[in-house]
Amino acid sequence: MKKLIIWILIPFCFWCCVSEDSKNYDYSIFNNSGVTVVIVPYGTDGMRDLSKKVVLSNNEKISLKRFVYYPAPHFLDMAEVITRDRNISLTKIEFIFNLSKKTLYSNCKFTSTGVEGCTESRNIFRSEFNDEETEVYTITPEDYQNAQDCSGNCN
């Protein structure tokens, strides 16, 4: 009888110990800048990865959804929305506006003294753009206005 009770209680113990939490992540990058934007990722080697570039016309978006069971080794972030690959780490992301202006954002570095490389409030790598279940990063007309002029073709 004791063995029967133990065999009945064991699954209950596992049920209590294993988290049933899961979440749906839905991340998007929406171009509302008024011009076409080319998004170019930079790999860990610091080089542009043109095979992963994304072209967004005005009022166009790219999205990625992922269902995650907890505890999860991987969550969704904006870099993955661009590359479509969770195994690729990016060091930078470049936004090229209308082939005439650009902005380059560097990945945030977490050190013992704090976070480095995230001083720009619009940096797509910042935690506030990558910490909720649903995130929409909107490229705005102000982003276009504040971008650096290339003095010609930015490609």
* For residue 74, pLDDT beyond 90: no
Element (H, E) at 61: strand 61-69
Domain boundaries, the chain: 20-149
pTM (2 decimals)? 0.81
Q: Check residue 121 and give its pLDDT.
A: 92
Output 72 or 5, whichever has higher pLDDT.
Answer: 72
61's tokens: 């978006």
Q: Are 94 and 48 in contact (CB under 8 A)?
A: yes
What would the pLDDT profile of 54-69 be if each residue is shown by its tens digit? 999 999 999 999 888 7
